[in-house]
Amino acid sequence: MKVDKKIAEFIELRIAGNSFDEIAKILSVAKSTLIEWNKKAEVKGAIQEGKAIAINTIVKAFQYDRQARLKALLALSKRINDELKSRDLKDVSTDKLLQMSVANDGRLQKLLDQRIQIGENPSIITFDSGDGYFEMYLDE
């Protein structure tokens, strides 16, 4: 295997989270060689970029899932409120619908207020959190 091909595979394995020891065994390369490769600016940059792209993919997937849950909760809230509007408030099951409405509104608010934390890797991206994590609202 050519050196350039091994370096490319090294980059992919580092992006995937493999340790130097694991990569040394996979590529049959000395750990010290891997450390030297890792010091090269273009290799280090490629690894950081790959990890950032992986994190972005996770964030986007979470955002789409969050949107689907939000749409489902809003649709349920509308159905509950529509049913409440059509009922006489003296009806026994209205209590239950009011409880459902309050509970659903609480779930909606919790979802809208939700923040996410993705991974601990201060060498890639830090958003002034100081603890190695970065936080962002999904709307940002």
User: Is 3 in a helix, a strand, or coil?
Assistant: helix
Q: Is 44 exposed, middle or buried (0-12, 13-18, 19+ CB in 10 A)?
A: middle
Q: What's the pLDDT at 33?
A: 92
Domain boundaries, the chain: 3-39, 44-136
Whether 128 shows a pLDDT value over 50: the answer reads no
**84-122: pLDDT as tens digits:** 788 765 564 777 878 888 888 888 888 888 776 655 544
Name residue 116's beta-bridge partners.
136
Mean pLDDT value across residues 31-44: 91
The rounded mean pLDDT for the chain is: 78
